[in-house]
Structure formats: structure tokens, C-alpha cells
Structure 1
Amino acid sequence: MRLGVTVFATDVSMPIADLARAAEERGFSSLYVPEHTHIPVSRRTPPAAGQVELPEEYRRTLDPLVALSFAAAATERIGIGTGILLAAQREPLVTAKAIATLDHLSGGRFVLGVGFGWNVEEIEDHGVPYARRREVAREHVLAMKALWSQDVAGYEGRHVRFEPSWSWPKPHRPGGPPVYLGGAAGPKLFAHIAEYADGWMPIGGRGVKAALPALREACEKAGRPMASVIPFGTVPSREKLDYYAGLGIEETVLQLPSANADIILTSLDNYTRYL
């Protein structure tokens, strides 16, 4: 099973290019970074992970696509990805161009992890009603996939409309990079995955085994192969990783602390025992 890593890359954490090189040198398969465009100070929405106070790295997060361009330029083999990109908060024409450029220049190493978001006020500041964020994200991803896969692409939806257009470069891989959706198991998420994604990124990986039959059923109903599953932000143990491998999971992404180089490199070195 391949092992990747994820970290909240910020302006005060270990430089992303240095981290990417260190992860590649140690044999990790991928590096993922998350996204928050901003964090409104009102803090009406409590932290999604249940913390009493939202950790500082949420307000200092680098733009993921810009950060990953530095990671790609500093490395040769390691996969780079978003874990996750908030698709409902991004204009799809510009984002499609940025992702296609990054995948093209990196030689097809980019993976698009997409999430719907949990911070109500952050989402609303982008003009997106919280209750509609899933349908907005869906149209944004479908519109981007059209731009990546067609020489002339247009889109006519409820939330996205643009006339038939040219948009190059195309991603390195025909049709665009793999798309994974993050979120808790459930029929709505699995229906989205079956329709327009390649797989599921369950945060932490808890409850994966129990959810697999429902995901398989959703994929079969859509007439497509079973989606891939990448447990994401996992704190590893040998037993846990062996358990995932026994489920047929081919990649797990391990959580790194958002910290300076000394702390992150220590964590990376500790994780090498699982490679």
C-alpha cells in the first residue's frame, strides 16, 4: 500500500518545496494540502473537528494550487494534490485553467481532492448559500471536466454558464486529473462520487469497512466500476494500515503537524517505519 502525507501548509510552517523534497526522498507517494480562502473572525461556525478553538493554521493556509506548483517544481516523482479544494468557492473557468496548467507542467502528478466545506460564513462570503454548496461544487467540477476533456467546451447549468470555448493547456492525462470527494459516508456523497468522481477520501478513515457496500451499490447503480478509497489525514499504526490493506485500499494519506521543519521532519522519519 502506498503512503502519502498531508499538512496544513502555512506562511510559518516548513516551506512546502522543502517538505515535498523530504517526502519524496523518504519514499512517500504523495503530498496533499488543504484550502481555506479566509476565516471570518465572527466564528459563528464551530470547528468541524470539535476543537474548543479553531487552530491557527486554518487562518494561515496557503493557496493550495500555488503551493503545489512549488512542490512540483522541487520534485520529480511524488504525487501532489488538494486535500481538499473547496470547489463551490472557486470560479470554475479560472480554476480549470490553473489545475490543467499544474497537471501539465508536473507531468500528470496532480490529484484533485474536492470538499464541500463546513464553515458557513466562509462559504457565504463567496456568494454561495450553505445549503446549495454541494450542487454548486458539482457543477463547478463538471464544468472543469468538460474544459479538460473537450477541444471546444461549453456548460449550461443552474450555477455555471459559459459559451462553447477553447481552453488550453489540457491536463497531462486525457480527461483531466483524478477527482476524489471528501466527506462523511452517506447516500448523497456516494451518489456524487458515482456520478462524477474517481473515489472517496474519508477523513481519518474511521468506518470505512462499514461504508464500502453502500459505495459499491451507488457505483453499480451508476453503471461504473467501484470507486477508489483513500483514507485521509490518518494517524497511523501498523494494525490500522494492515487493516486498510486487507480491505483492498491501495493508498493512505498520513497526517503531519503544521509546524517547523524540525517537527515535521521528525514526524516524517517516524512514519518511514510504515513504508
Structure 2
Amino acid sequence: MRFGLYLPQGELADARQGVMTVAREAERIGYDSLWAFERTLFPLEPADGMGGVPGLPWADFYRHNMDPLTLLTLAAAVTEKVRLGTGVLVAGLHPAHALARTMATLDQVSGGRAVLGLGGGWSSDEFRAAGADVRRRGRSLEETVDACRALWGPNPVSYRDSRMVVDNALVTPKPLGRLPILLGGGKTERRAGPDRPQGRRLDPRRPRARGRRRHVEAASRPGRRSRP
């Protein structure tokens, strides 16, 4: 069994020192991986409940969240062995070309320790803020996976989808090895490959979703913390 730990992403008195301390100590005591999640804003009147569950209030720890890729880069600078993963990035909020280059750079500077966790997302407020269409989130997720694999492949690269075109170009940097991509949710399960573990999208009408709602509500009470 392997264990991972989420880096602190909230409002800290000294964010730099806090993240570095947690990263160093996590590696020292034997954690296998460090993770950071993505929330780009906290709507005061959200269009969607937390996790896509209708009516479920957003947890307070979403109110202040630092950029996950920046935190993972800082963690890479003070560790040697732990894997460094996004858990998760919302694919539709990111241009695939820029994301592929950023993740390949993280993999290079960390010595091949990067893991790209991607999800389709559930907050239409976040999609509107990014100028993206929430109705295309499933397709955007699939295209982002395909684009990253193509851009990380041998040069020259030629690739086309509904959001981008690369025509016979050199694209750098490349990951040091096969950078793992982990997926969560929905239609992407049908396309899961060796490094695409199957996720599950919870329907709020089903018992598992109702159980998750109770868990999140309990974890959001004063003095408790949870993670997405």
C-alpha cells in the first residue's frame, strides 16, 4: 500500500515555508506522493453544488487556494523521491498545449516525478471565468489527454482537435519518461488505458452519492478538513 498527502493550499502566514516544510517532512517519514488540487474561485452564490451535488454547499477550504502547479514546483525543489501529482486539474480550463509543456517541465525539473491527474470539472462558474464551455467538459478532457500524449511524443509533432492545431512543429520540453495520466469520471472510463485508472462520477440520486454528500457535510464542520 502506498500513501499520498495533499500539500497545504490555504491561506498561510508563510506559504513558502509551510509548503516546503510539509513536502520535506512527508518525504522524510515515508509518503510516496504529494498532491495539489485545483479550485480557481469561490462563488458566493454558486451555480452548482459542491462536487456537482445539487444544493450541497461548497466547503470552506475552497475559499482560498493557491495554484497547484506552482506549489508542486516548489515541492520538487526540496524533495528527491516523492511523486508530484495534480489531484486534479480541470482539463477544460487549460489550453492543452500550455498544460503539456508545463507538466513536461515539472517532470524535467523534478527528475521524472510528475503525475498529471485530470478531471472534467463540475463548476460552471469556473468554466465561465475561464471563457470555456462547461457543456464540452467531457470532450475537452478526452482531447487534453490525446493532445498531451501527442505533444510529449517524438518531434516533429502534428496534431489537431477541436481546440488546437499543431502542424509539423518541434514541441519541447518532453517528459523524462512516460508521464502518468490519471483520469476521473464519466465517459472517459470507456477510454481508460494502462495509466488511466477508472474513476467514477457519482449520481446524486444514487446511494453512493448520498453517502458522499453526508461525508462532505460532516468533514466541512468546524474543526474538520476534507479534500476533493
Gap change, CA 1:76 and 1:7, over 3 Å in 2? closer
Identity over aligned residues, as a percent?
32
**Which residue of structure 1 aligns with residue 79 of structure 2?**
75
| Distance change in 2, residues 1:8/1:170 (3 Å) | same
Q: Does 1:36 align with 2:39?
A: yes
Q: Is the 8 A contact 1:140 1:160 kept in 2?
A: no
> 1:2 is paired with a residue of what secondary structure?
coil
Q: Cα offset for 1:153?
A: 1.1
The alignment partner of 2:198 has SS state of strand
Partners of 2:90 and 2:10 lie apart in 1 by 17
Name the SS of the counterpart of 1:81 in structure 2.
strand
The aligned counterpart of 2:3 is 3
Aligned positions of 1:19-98 closer than 5 A: 19-48=22-51, 52-98=56-102
- 1:121 pairs with one of 115, 125, 131: 125
Question: Which one-letter code corresponds to 1:182 in the other structure?
Answer: G
Moved segments of 4+, more than 6 Å = none
Amino acid aligned to 2:94? R
**Kept after mapping to 1: 8 A contact 2:142/2:188:** no
Q: Partner residue of 1:111?
A: 115
SS for the counterpart of 1:43 is: coil
- Give, in angstroms, the shift of residue 52 of structure 1: 4.9
TM-score, normalization by structure 1: 0.66
Counterparts in 2 of 1:202 and 1:7: CA distance versus 1, 3 Å: farther
CA RMSD of aligned residues (A): 2.8
SS of match in other structure, 2:132:
coil
Whether the 8 Å contact between 1:4 and 1:31 is mirrored in structure 2 is yes
Cα contact 2:155–2:170 (8 A) shared by 1: yes
CA-to-aligned-CA distance 1:136-161 (integer Å, 9 cap, x gap): 12112211211111211122112222
- Distance in structure 2 (CA, Å) of the matches to 1:170 and 1:42: 41
Structure 2 gap ranges (5+): 203-214
Alignment-derived partner of residue 208 in structure 2: none
Q: 2:93 corresponds to which letter in structure 1?
A: Q
**Are the counterparts in 1 of residues 189 and 199 from structure 2 also a CA contact under 8 Å?**
no
Q: Aligned residues, how many?
A: 203
Using the size of structure 2 for normalisation, the TM-score is 0.78
1:180 is aligned with what amino acid? L
Amino acid at match of 1:154: S
Higher relative contact order (CA 8 A, sep 6+): 1
1:182 aligns with 2:179: no
